[in-house]
Amino acid sequence: MRSLLTLMLAILVGVSAASAQEAAMELRNVEIDAQSPEGSVLTQAGLAEDEGERIGILEGFRNDYPESTYRGYVLMQLQGLYTRQQNWARAAEIGKLLLPYAPEDLEVRHNHNQALLNSQDWPALLEALIATKPLADRDAAAPLPEDPTEDEEIIHQSSVDYAAGVAQYTEWALNVGGTQSPPMERVKFMDALVKLFPDGQYLDGIDDRYVVAYQQAGDAAGMTMAMERALANNPGNEQYLFTLAQLALTQKDYDTVNARCEELIKLMEEKPAPEGTSDEAWTATKQKFTALGHYLMGTASFQQGSWRTARRHLLQTVDEIKAEGGERYGILAYMLGFCYVKLDIAGDNIPQATRWMGEAARVPNPMQAQAAQTLEAIKAAE
């Protein structure tokens, strides 16, 4: 990545801004009246050998002549100086003032984009990159003049190369914003990356990056949408299937719970071990997610009062969830105990009900107190 960026910057710094529009060209080729007070100051700045001294003179000019007709020229000089010094905060401030003077100048925009990225001004950077892309595309596709001279051909090729480099940087910077900015800003950068570079080089894994961004932002609806889109593009993600089923269960969307869990269980039956995963590790993963699928289906049936169906699914989870231990095992034990109570006809299920309610009363979980009360009631009824 770094070598690519270095190459792009070398291209961008090494060629002249031949693609600048007429207004910007005027800023670069200002005729300075050295005899006037303003011209005298600018001449002094031009003769200064030290960049720090030149910046001081130009900044002083801005303060002394705020309404000068040379203002755009001065801002362009300062932007270039601050960019070379990598004083990104000042380069960004100056660039914002300069853009109205040269809104279609690709070099001005590129310098401004670099400043915004290195200042991590993410909202401003996103807006600036979106505005830059069509300008870079336009200049990269600009035709040669009719019957060009050799010099015109050289200038044209420099302009095209420069614009192509800016477009590459724009794509790279959108990807940086899509990986390094705050979560919801990342979503916006990724949206722009997908829209502006639909066949771009940074789109591998972007579905997963959307999921993570929404998750970190605490946006459950966005995360659900991103997971569903990821599954549409790659149906073989067991974690997403399980998470979507969990979310559906919290919303009591039982049809979706069952559909997702059935997909999950079938996937675990058919999916081969991912590259780099041992057979032993993959077997453990398949057993885990198969059990979790049955656990959610059993929970959904339990909540609907379908005790026999709930028990059938829940019993298929016992080994895995007991080995896992903790709260989920306690809840499983309570649901199984409750199912055995509900399905008891002639007292045949009492030992199993007692066993599972005893486990639920022993293991810390949200139903622990209720399980203890139920256990006492079972014992009192015997």
CA distance 210 to 231: 12
What digits encode the pLDDT tens for the residues 163-174? Answer: 999 999 999 999
**Candidate from 151-155, 166-170, 377-381 with smallest mean pLDDT:** 377-381
Query: Quick one: average pLDDT of 305-326?
Result: 96
**Candidate from 6-20, 296-310, 330-344 with smallest mean pLDDT:** 6-20
**361 and 377 in contact (C-beta within 8 Å)?**
no
Candidates 165, 159, 157, 115; CA nearest to 11 is 165
pLDDT score of 378: 87
For the chain, how far is it from start to end, CA to CA, in angstroms?
Answer: 72
More confident residue, 382 or 162: 162
What digits encode the pLDDT tens for the residues 102-139? Answer: 999 999 999 999 999 999 999 999 999 999 999 999 99
Helix (H, G, I), strand (E, B) or coil at 121: coil
Q: What is the DSSP letter of 142?
A: P
pLDDT score of 192: 98
pLDDT-based confidence at 347, cuts 50/70/90?
Answer: confident
Q: Does residue 202 surpass a pLDDT of 60?
A: yes
pLDDT score of 23: 57
The residue type found at 378 is I
pLDDT score of 33: 87
pLDDT score of 145: 87
**311 and 343 in contact (C-beta within 8 Å)?**
yes
pLDDT score of 117: 98
The pTM of the whole model exceeds 0.85:
no
CA distance 324 to 308: 24
More confident residue, 144 or 3: 144
Query: Quick one: average pLDDT of 130-150?
Result: 93
What integer best gives the mean pLDDT of the chain? 91
What digits encode the pLDDT tens for the residues 249-298? Answer: 999 999 999 999 999 999 999 999 999 999 999 999 999 999 999 999 99
pLDDT score of 29: 80
Query: Quick one: average pLDDT of 294-315?
Result: 97
* Token duo for residue 40: 């005298």
